[in-house]
Amino acid sequence: MPATVLLAANASDADGLISRVDFYSNGTLVGSDTSGPYELSWTNVPAGSYTITAQAIDDLGGIGDSNAVTITVQSPTMHVGDLDATAEAVAKQTWRGTVSITIHSTSETPVSGARVSGSWSGAIGGSGACTTNAAGSCSIATGNINIKKGTGATFSISSVNHPSYQYQSSANHDVDGGNDGSSIIVRRP
């Protein structure tokens, strides 16, 4: 998600008036302000590092440059905010497990379009992936498991990807408190 950055500069002129202040990012003009206080709301700024300068121009054409300041715009983060499991009997000798995953932003709002990947261990092996819907949720099922293979299957999240967010696994949690938000055991019914 692009950010909005407020740029501000103090400028004065002893022998006249300030006509405008130009704001630059990495040497490229991003905007100007013609009246004090000299500020600019720089919008749609992608994540990255930027060198910011301001240049004041007075009514006689005199120019004054500010010192450069480096800023870093970071991508917002996301994490697993809820991780639940259900199991159902499919036939007399088989069962299936499903995990439901909800991805949240730092402010605990749902993140849609996140690709969640993970792996199964225990009663079944393999991997699975899903993409979150508008509510920030998606589900991954095991497929059929023979009851002789064990009493449970563990799903462990390996990655969460989204073009506008960074995955912060250390913030994973489960709102129900039943697991750490990174892995969950699905028990045979």
Three-state DSSP state, 169 = helix
Instruction: Determine the pLDDT at residue 149.
Output: 87
Band of residue 57 on the pLDDT scale cut at 50, 70, 90: very high
Contact assessment for residue 141 and residue 128, using Cβ atoms and an 8 Å cutoff? yes
Q: Taking 90 as the threshold, does the pLDDT of residue 139 lie above it?
A: yes
CA distances from 1 to 20, 52, 110, 156, 182 (A): 30, 20, 14, 27, 24
Note if the pTM is more than 0.75.
no
Q: Residues 156-168: what's their mean pLDDT?
A: 94
Place of tokens 């407020």: 6
Q: Residues 87-106: what's their mean pLDDT?
A: 94
Closest by CA to 159, choosing from 111, 117, 97, is: 117
Rg, C-alpha atoms of the chain: 26
Do 3-73 and 77-187 have matching folds? yes
Three-state DSSP state, 170 = helix
Band of residue 14 on the pLDDT scale cut at 50, 70, 90: confident
- Encode pLDDT of 61-72 as tens digits: 999 999 999 999
Q: Taking 90 as the threshold, does the pLDDT of residue 177 lie above it?
A: no
* Domain residue spans of the chain: 3-73, 77-187
Instruction: Determine the pLDDT at residue 178.
Output: 85
The set of residues, in sequence order, having a beta carbon less than 8 Å from that of 125 and lying 6+ positions away, is 119
- CB neighbourhood size of 153 (10 A): 27
Q: Taking 70 as the threshold, does the pLDDT of residue 52 lie above it?
A: yes
Between 155 and 3, whose confidence is greater?
155
Q: Residues 1-27: what's their mean pLDDT?
A: 91
Q: What single DSSP character describes residue 66?
A: P
Instruction: Determine the pLDDT at residue 47.
Output: 86
Mean pLDDT of the chain: 94
Band of residue 1 on the pLDDT scale cut at 50, 70, 90: low
Q: Give the class (CATH, top level) of 3-73.
A: mainly beta
Q: Give the class (CATH, top level) of 77-187.
A: mainly beta
Instruction: Determine the pLDDT at residue 132.
Output: 98
Q: Taking 90 as the threshold, does the pLDDT of residue 86 lie above it?
A: yes
